[in-house]
A and B are shown apart, each in its own frame.
Chain A
Amino acid sequence: MKVAVIRFPGTNCEFDTQYAFERIGAKTELVWHKETSLPDGIDLVVLPGGFSYGDYLRSGAIARFSPVMQAVKAFAERGGYVLGICNGFQILLESHLLPGAMKRNDNLHFVSKFQYIKVLSNDNKFLSRLQKGDILNIPIAHAEGNYFVDSDTLTKMYDNGQMILQYCNAEGYYDNPNGSVDAIAGICNASKNVFGLMPHPERACERILGSDDGIKMIEGFMH
């Protein structure tokens, strides 16, 4: 598998993301945001975490207009797999490749900690190696992760299995670190080839880091 990791000015999780995907046997390539096309033979595009354009205006709002995003959009429209982690998720929302928007966390704090999340739907490539109800321990680190979507779209997304991850406590019960609607932590688009999540699977790829649950997630793309 060949993974393109997109790098914007202000991205800071690109090397961790490369490391995690190389650990599961993928080839990775960094792609600067000024590129107008993606490398040949890419199977997955990852928009990693960070603070693209300093989060100016709104998180992800300016990165959306980077030249490479046209190529990412075209890739997604052809059915290519795209994964946005944290700031990458925010960019996908601003690009309208995923429905909804992010608001400031309801407690206004930058929240940085390990957080349990639960698999709501595995009927997609990303989480295909996991079972519904599986609980994972993955770090979160964000100030704008308060996911919002209007109630009509919310219902449609549930019906279509687009709500894929939800924050919870160690026992799987309700926990909401940022005020997201229904404590949603990750979603996908209707055709299930574009994924976004606030937690950082790449920061949980070895036991020595506190958890290797992130590997169990991203492995889905290898199969």
Chain B
Amino acid sequence: MKAIVNIYLKEGVLDPQGKAVKHALGSLGFKDVEDVRVGKQIVLTLKDGLNAEEAKKEVEQMCEKLLANTVIEDYDIEIVQ
């Protein structure tokens, strides 16, 4: 079982990397990009046979305690069997 955690800066928190990537895309001629947010993905391999719902709860705690800084970051979790 895997947990895929996506972490990105909260809406309203200016994303310096996203801004730079948007600028670079613009100068390459990609004119349709209105906004870019750069985040990170953390893939956790969990023990097989866990209850998906409980696993998600545990990963939520991991996010709150370590993986994300909830002052500036949001996260979402996807459990993949």
Contacts and interface: CB of A to CB of B under 8 A. Distances in A.
Contact of A107 (B13, B16, B69, B72): B16
A76 B67 CA distance: 25
Contact of A100 (B9, B19, B67, B71): B71
A57 B66 CA distance: 9
Contacts, number: 36
Interface string B17-59: 1011000000000000000000000000000000000000000
B51 to A, nearest CB: 27
A146 interface: yes
A103 B67 contact: no
A61 B66 contact: yes
Contacts of B19: 106
Interface residues of A, number: 19
Interface residues of B, number: 13
B16 A148 contact: no
A100 B67 CA distance: 17
25 contacts: A57-B66, A57-B67, A65-B66, A93-B71, A94-B69, A101-B69, A103-B9, A103-B14, A103-B15, A103-B72, A104-B16, A104-B17, A105-B16, A106-B14, A106-B16, A106-B19, A107-B16, A108-B17, A108-B20, A146-B16, A148-B71, A148-B72, A149-B71, A150-B71, A179-B16
